[in-house]
Structure 1
Protein backbone atom coordinates (compact mmCIF):
# COMPACT_ATOMS: atom_id res chain seq x y z
CA UNK A 1 0.00 0.00 0.00
CA UNK A 2 1.42 3.35 -1.05
CA UNK A 3 0.38 6.42 0.96
CA UNK A 4 1.56 9.88 0.01
CA UNK A 5 4.08 11.35 2.47
CA UNK A 6 2.05 14.57 2.65
CA UNK A 7 -0.86 12.56 4.06
CA UNK A 8 1.43 10.92 6.62
CA UNK A 9 2.74 14.33 7.67
CA UNK A 10 -0.79 15.71 7.99
CA UNK A 11 -1.90 12.71 10.04
CA UNK A 12 1.05 13.21 12.39
CA UNK A 13 -0.79 16.24 13.81
CA UNK A 14 -3.08 13.75 15.59
CA UNK A 15 -0.39 13.27 18.22
CA UNK A 16 -0.64 16.92 19.26
CA UNK A 17 -3.70 17.28 21.50
CA UNK A 18 -3.42 21.06 21.60
CA UNK A 19 -3.90 21.38 17.84
CA UNK A 20 -6.49 18.63 17.38
CA UNK A 21 -8.36 18.03 20.62
CA UNK A 22 -10.09 14.74 21.37
CA UNK A 23 -13.51 16.27 20.70
CA UNK A 24 -12.45 17.68 17.32
CA UNK A 25 -10.73 14.40 16.45
CA UNK A 26 -13.90 12.39 17.04
CA UNK A 27 -16.02 14.88 15.09
CA UNK A 28 -13.58 14.73 12.17
CA UNK A 29 -13.78 10.94 12.21
CA UNK A 30 -17.58 11.06 12.21
CA UNK A 31 -17.51 13.44 9.25
CA UNK A 32 -14.91 11.39 7.42
CA UNK A 33 -16.77 8.11 7.55
CA UNK A 34 -20.12 9.74 6.95
CA UNK A 35 -18.84 11.35 3.74
CA UNK A 36 -17.07 8.20 2.57
CA UNK A 37 -20.19 6.06 2.85
CA UNK A 38 -22.24 8.60 0.93
CA UNK A 39 -24.03 10.55 3.63
CA UNK A 40 -23.76 14.23 4.49
CA UNK A 41 -21.25 15.62 6.95
CA UNK A 42 -22.47 15.43 10.54
CA UNK A 43 -20.62 18.61 11.53
CA UNK A 44 -19.71 21.59 9.39
CA UNK A 45 -15.98 21.49 8.89
CA UNK A 46 -15.90 25.26 9.37
CA UNK A 47 -17.23 24.87 12.92
CA UNK A 48 -14.33 22.59 13.89
CA UNK A 49 -11.54 25.12 13.47
CA UNK A 50 -9.67 26.28 16.48
CA UNK A 51 -6.61 28.39 15.75
CA UNK A 52 -5.26 26.40 12.80
CA UNK A 53 -7.82 25.93 9.99
CA UNK A 54 -5.21 24.85 7.43
CA UNK A 55 -3.98 22.07 9.72
CA UNK A 56 -7.54 20.85 10.38
CA UNK A 57 -8.36 20.83 6.65
CA UNK A 58 -5.13 19.00 5.82
CA UNK A 59 -5.72 16.45 8.54
CA UNK A 60 -9.31 15.92 7.36
CA UNK A 61 -8.21 15.44 3.73
CA UNK A 62 -5.59 12.94 4.85
CA UNK A 63 -8.19 11.05 6.91
CA UNK A 64 -10.45 10.78 3.88
CA UNK A 65 -7.70 9.57 1.57
CA UNK A 66 -6.15 7.09 3.99
CA UNK A 67 -9.52 5.67 5.06
CA UNK A 68 -10.49 4.99 1.46
CA UNK A 69 -7.09 3.41 0.84
CA UNK A 70 -7.43 1.15 3.90
CA UNK A 71 -10.81 -0.08 2.67
CA UNK A 72 -9.57 -0.47 -0.91
CA UNK A 73 -6.66 -2.64 0.26
CA UNK A 74 -8.82 -4.55 2.76
CA UNK A 75 -6.46 -3.96 5.69
CA UNK A 76 -7.27 -5.61 8.98
CA UNK A 77 -7.34 -4.02 12.43
CA UNK A 78 -3.70 -4.82 13.28
CA UNK A 79 -2.36 -3.51 9.97
CA UNK A 80 -4.22 -0.23 10.41
CA UNK A 81 -2.99 0.16 13.99
CA UNK A 82 0.55 -0.59 12.86
CA UNK A 83 0.41 1.99 10.08
CA UNK A 84 -1.11 4.73 12.23
CA UNK A 85 1.22 4.27 15.19
CA UNK A 86 4.50 3.67 13.35
CA UNK A 87 4.16 5.69 10.12
CA UNK A 88 1.90 8.52 11.31
CA UNK A 89 2.92 8.82 14.99
CA UNK A 90 -0.61 8.34 16.33
CA UNK A 91 -0.98 7.63 20.02
CA UNK A 92 -2.35 4.19 20.86
CA UNK A 93 -5.57 5.75 22.15
CA UNK A 94 -6.26 7.76 18.98
CA UNK A 95 -5.32 4.85 16.73
CA UNK A 96 -7.79 2.62 18.59
CA UNK A 97 -10.53 5.24 18.29
CA UNK A 98 -9.86 5.46 14.55
CA UNK A 99 -10.02 1.67 14.15
CA UNK A 100 -13.34 1.53 16.03
CA UNK A 101 -14.85 4.08 13.62
CA UNK A 102 -13.34 2.24 10.66
CA UNK A 103 -14.63 -1.16 11.77
CA UNK A 104 -18.14 0.25 12.35
CA UNK A 105 -18.29 1.64 8.80
CA UNK A 106 -16.13 -0.92 6.97
CA UNK A 107 -19.03 -2.54 5.14
CA UNK A 108 -20.44 0.81 4.04
CA UNK A 109 -17.01 1.87 2.79
CA UNK A 110 -16.62 -1.31 0.77
CA UNK A 111 -20.06 -0.87 -0.79
CA UNK A 112 -19.34 2.78 -1.62
CA UNK A 113 -16.05 1.83 -3.27
CA UNK A 114 -17.74 -0.91 -5.29
CA UNK A 115 -20.33 1.55 -6.58
CA UNK A 116 -17.79 4.03 -7.94
CA UNK A 117 -18.23 4.18 -11.68
CA UNK A 118 -21.52 2.28 -11.71
CA UNK A 119 -23.79 5.30 -11.69
CA UNK A 120 -23.86 5.91 -15.46
CA UNK A 121 -25.50 3.56 -17.94
CA UNK A 122 -23.21 1.68 -20.28
CA UNK A 123 -23.68 1.91 -24.03
CA UNK A 124 -23.63 -1.40 -25.89
CA UNK A 125 -24.04 -2.49 -29.52
CA UNK A 126 -23.37 0.84 -31.16
CA UNK A 127 -22.62 0.97 -34.88
CA UNK A 128 -21.26 4.12 -36.38
CA UNK A 129 -19.65 5.38 -39.55
CA UNK A 130 -18.10 8.57 -40.77
CA UNK A 131 -20.05 10.20 -43.57
CA UNK A 132 -19.34 13.36 -45.52
CA UNK A 133 -20.90 15.36 -48.28
CA UNK A 134 -19.01 17.33 -50.89
CA UNK A 135 -20.93 20.31 -52.26
CA UNK A 136 -19.89 22.06 -55.43
CA UNK A 137 -20.58 25.78 -55.75
Structure 2
Protein backbone atom coordinates (compact mmCIF):
# COMPACT_ATOMS: atom_id res chain seq x y z
CA UNK A 1 0.00 0.00 0.00
CA UNK A 2 1.40 3.37 -1.01
CA UNK A 3 0.39 6.51 0.84
CA UNK A 4 1.11 10.06 -0.31
CA UNK A 5 3.35 12.34 1.70
CA UNK A 6 0.40 14.66 2.45
CA UNK A 7 -1.51 11.79 4.05
CA UNK A 8 1.56 10.76 6.04
CA UNK A 9 1.99 14.35 7.25
CA UNK A 10 -1.64 14.46 8.38
CA UNK A 11 -1.31 11.14 10.16
CA UNK A 12 1.93 12.28 11.80
CA UNK A 13 0.17 15.47 12.97
CA UNK A 14 -2.35 13.25 14.75
CA UNK A 15 0.54 11.54 16.55
CA UNK A 16 1.51 14.81 18.27
CA UNK A 17 -0.04 14.77 21.75
CA UNK A 18 -0.46 18.57 21.66
CA UNK A 19 -2.55 18.34 18.47
CA UNK A 20 -4.53 15.23 19.42
CA UNK A 21 -4.47 14.20 23.10
CA UNK A 22 -4.61 10.51 23.98
CA UNK A 23 -8.26 10.70 25.07
CA UNK A 24 -9.26 12.16 21.66
CA UNK A 25 -7.35 9.72 19.45
CA UNK A 26 -9.92 6.86 19.53
CA UNK A 27 -12.69 9.34 18.70
CA UNK A 28 -10.62 10.69 15.80
CA UNK A 29 -10.08 7.26 14.24
CA UNK A 30 -13.71 6.26 14.83
CA UNK A 31 -14.95 9.53 13.29
CA UNK A 32 -12.75 8.95 10.22
CA UNK A 33 -14.24 5.47 9.75
CA UNK A 34 -17.77 6.72 10.31
CA UNK A 35 -17.18 9.56 7.88
CA UNK A 36 -16.30 7.06 5.16
CA UNK A 37 -19.24 4.84 6.03
CA UNK A 38 -21.50 7.90 6.37
CA UNK A 39 -22.84 6.59 9.66
CA UNK A 40 -22.56 9.68 11.81
CA UNK A 41 -23.03 13.21 10.54
CA UNK A 42 -21.97 14.76 13.87
CA UNK A 43 -18.47 15.12 15.29
CA UNK A 44 -17.63 13.52 18.61
CA UNK A 45 -17.77 16.14 21.40
CA UNK A 46 -14.21 15.25 22.48
CA UNK A 47 -12.96 16.42 19.08
CA UNK A 48 -14.56 19.86 19.39
CA UNK A 49 -11.78 21.02 21.73
CA UNK A 50 -9.11 20.39 19.06
CA UNK A 51 -7.82 23.05 16.69
CA UNK A 52 -10.27 22.89 13.76
CA UNK A 53 -7.54 23.09 11.10
CA UNK A 54 -5.67 20.20 12.68
CA UNK A 55 -8.92 18.27 13.05
CA UNK A 56 -9.78 18.70 9.36
CA UNK A 57 -6.28 17.69 8.26
CA UNK A 58 -6.09 14.63 10.50
CA UNK A 59 -9.63 13.45 9.74
CA UNK A 60 -9.05 13.74 6.00
CA UNK A 61 -5.67 12.01 6.26
CA UNK A 62 -7.03 9.15 8.34
CA UNK A 63 -10.05 8.77 6.05
CA UNK A 64 -7.75 8.43 3.02
CA UNK A 65 -5.39 6.11 4.89
CA UNK A 66 -8.24 3.90 6.12
CA UNK A 67 -9.93 3.71 2.72
CA UNK A 68 -6.64 2.79 1.01
CA UNK A 69 -5.90 0.16 3.64
CA UNK A 70 -9.37 -1.36 3.20
CA UNK A 71 -9.13 -1.16 -0.58
CA UNK A 72 -5.82 -3.03 -0.66
CA UNK A 73 -6.88 -5.45 2.10
CA UNK A 74 -3.80 -4.44 4.09
CA UNK A 75 -2.92 -6.83 6.88
CA UNK A 76 -2.55 -5.73 10.50
CA UNK A 77 1.22 -6.22 10.55
CA UNK A 78 1.71 -3.84 7.61
CA UNK A 79 -0.50 -1.21 9.24
CA UNK A 80 1.39 -1.53 12.50
CA UNK A 81 4.77 -1.18 10.80
CA UNK A 82 3.61 1.89 8.85
CA UNK A 83 2.31 3.55 12.01
CA UNK A 84 5.54 2.64 13.83
CA UNK A 85 7.46 4.43 11.07
CA UNK A 86 5.35 7.51 11.88
CA UNK A 87 6.47 7.11 15.55
CA UNK A 88 3.05 6.23 16.94
CA UNK A 89 2.95 4.86 20.46
CA UNK A 90 1.97 1.23 20.98
CA UNK A 91 -1.33 2.32 22.57
CA UNK A 92 -2.28 4.47 19.58
CA UNK A 93 -1.30 1.71 17.15
CA UNK A 94 -3.41 -0.76 19.12
CA UNK A 95 -6.35 1.67 19.14
CA UNK A 96 -6.09 2.33 15.40
CA UNK A 97 -5.82 -1.36 14.50
CA UNK A 98 -8.76 -2.23 16.76
CA UNK A 99 -11.06 0.40 15.20
CA UNK A 100 -9.87 -0.41 11.69
CA UNK A 101 -10.38 -4.18 12.06
CA UNK A 102 -13.85 -3.64 13.50
CA UNK A 103 -14.87 -1.50 10.50
CA UNK A 104 -12.85 -3.19 7.75
CA UNK A 105 -15.61 -5.55 6.48
CA UNK A 106 -18.06 -2.66 6.19
CA UNK A 107 -15.48 -0.47 4.46
CA UNK A 108 -14.64 -3.20 1.96
CA UNK A 109 -18.33 -3.80 1.24
CA UNK A 110 -18.84 -0.09 0.64
CA UNK A 111 -15.78 0.09 -1.62
CA UNK A 112 -16.91 -2.98 -3.57
CA UNK A 113 -20.30 -1.39 -4.21
CA UNK A 114 -18.83 1.98 -5.13
CA UNK A 115 -17.16 1.84 -8.50
CA UNK A 116 -16.80 4.21 -11.35
CA UNK A 117 -15.08 1.88 -13.74
CA UNK A 118 -15.40 2.43 -17.41
CA UNK A 119 -16.58 -0.50 -19.51
CA UNK A 120 -13.87 -2.88 -20.72
CA UNK A 121 -13.82 -3.38 -24.48
CA UNK A 122 -13.87 -7.10 -25.23
CA UNK A 123 -14.30 -7.01 -28.98
CA UNK A 124 -15.25 -5.02 -32.03
CA UNK A 125 -17.72 -5.82 -34.77
CA UNK A 126 -17.75 -3.68 -37.87
CA UNK A 127 -19.43 -3.33 -41.22
CA UNK A 128 -18.80 -1.10 -44.22
CA UNK A 129 -21.79 0.53 -45.90
CA UNK A 130 -21.63 2.63 -49.01
CA UNK A 131 -24.22 5.39 -49.32
CA UNK A 132 -25.08 6.26 -52.88
CA UNK A 133 -27.63 8.95 -52.12
CA UNK A 134 -29.44 10.46 -49.14
CA UNK A 135 -32.68 12.31 -48.47
CA UNK A 136 -30.90 15.64 -48.84
CA UNK A 137 -28.47 14.98 -51.69
CA UNK A 138 -28.99 13.15 -54.97
CA UNK A 139 -25.50 11.62 -54.97
CA UNK A 140 -23.26 11.15 -51.95
CA UNK A 141 -21.03 8.16 -52.84
CA UNK A 142 -19.58 8.01 -49.33
CA UNK A 143 -18.41 4.95 -47.37
CA UNK A 144 -19.64 4.75 -43.76
CA UNK A 145 -18.29 2.34 -41.16
CA UNK A 146 -20.75 0.90 -38.66
CA UNK A 147 -18.92 -0.16 -35.49
CA UNK A 148 -20.14 -2.09 -32.49
CA UNK A 149 -17.92 -2.26 -29.41
CA UNK A 150 -18.70 -5.28 -27.23
CA UNK A 151 -18.15 -4.12 -23.64
CA UNK A 152 -18.24 -5.53 -20.15
CA UNK A 153 -18.99 -3.36 -17.14
CA UNK A 154 -17.26 -4.66 -13.99
CA UNK A 155 -19.78 -6.16 -11.60
CA UNK A 156 -22.43 -6.82 -14.26
CA UNK A 157 -22.95 -10.18 -15.90
CA UNK A 158 -24.39 -9.04 -19.24
CA UNK A 159 -22.27 -7.81 -22.12
CA UNK A 160 -23.32 -4.58 -23.73
CA UNK A 161 -22.80 -3.14 -27.19
CA UNK A 162 -21.95 0.44 -28.02
CA UNK A 163 -22.96 1.20 -31.62
CA UNK A 164 -21.82 4.15 -33.70
CA UNK A 165 -21.00 5.08 -37.28
CA UNK A 166 -18.11 7.07 -38.68
CA UNK A 167 -16.48 8.10 -41.93
CA UNK A 168 -13.07 6.87 -43.06
CA UNK A 169 -11.39 10.01 -41.67
CA UNK A 170 -13.13 9.66 -38.31
CA UNK A 171 -12.17 5.98 -38.13
CA UNK A 172 -8.53 6.81 -38.88
CA UNK A 173 -8.58 9.45 -36.15
CA UNK A 174 -10.10 6.94 -33.69
CA UNK A 175 -7.41 4.35 -34.49
CA UNK A 176 -4.71 7.00 -34.04
CA UNK A 177 -6.11 8.04 -30.64
CA UNK A 178 -6.29 4.38 -29.54
CA UNK A 179 -2.64 3.87 -30.52
CA UNK A 180 -1.65 6.98 -28.57
CA UNK A 181 -3.58 5.77 -25.53
CA UNK A 182 -1.97 2.34 -25.80
CA UNK A 183 1.51 3.89 -25.86
CA UNK A 184 0.70 6.03 -22.81
CA UNK A 185 -0.47 2.96 -20.89
CA UNK A 186 2.69 1.08 -21.85
CA UNK A 187 4.88 3.96 -20.68
CA UNK A 188 2.93 4.24 -17.41
CA UNK A 189 3.24 0.49 -16.82
CA UNK A 190 7.03 0.69 -17.18
CA UNK A 191 7.37 3.30 -14.39
**TM-score range relative to shorter protein:** 0.7 to 0.9
Deviations along 1:57-87, whole A, 9 cap, x unmatched? 101100000000001111111110001111x
Match of 1:102 among 100, 103, 115: 100
* Distance verdict in 2 for CA 1:66–1:51, change over 3 Å: closer
Match of 1:92 among 83, 90, 93: 90
Structure with more contact order per residue of length (Cα contacts < 8 Å, sep ≥ 6): 1
TM-fit CA distance, 1:125:
5.2
Aligned length, in residue pairs = 126
Determine if contact 1:13/1:19 at 8 Å carries over to the other structure. yes
> Which structure would you say has the larger Rg?
2
Determine if contact 1:14/1:94 at 8 Å carries over to the other structure. no
TM-fit CA distance, 1:19:
1.6
TM-fit CA distance, 1:45:
6.5
Determine if contact 2:67/2:107 at 8 Å carries over to the other structure. yes
- Which runs of 5 or more residues in structure 1 are unaligned? 131-137
CA RMSD of the aligned region, Å?
A: 2.6
Note if 1:57 corresponds to 2:44: no
Q: Which residue of 2 aligns with 1:74?
A: 73
TM-fit CA distance, 1:44:
2.0
- Which runs of 5 or more residues in structure 2 are unaligned? 117-155, 167-191
TM-fit CA distance, 1:36:
2.0
Q: Identify the structure with the greater strand proportion.
A: 2
TM-score, structure 1 as length reference:
0.77
Q: Which residue of 2 aligns with 1:112?
A: 110
Q: Which residue of 1 aligns with 2:169?
A: none
Determine if contact 2:27/2:46 at 8 Å carries over to the other structure. no
Determine if contact 2:10/2:58 at 8 Å carries over to the other structure. yes
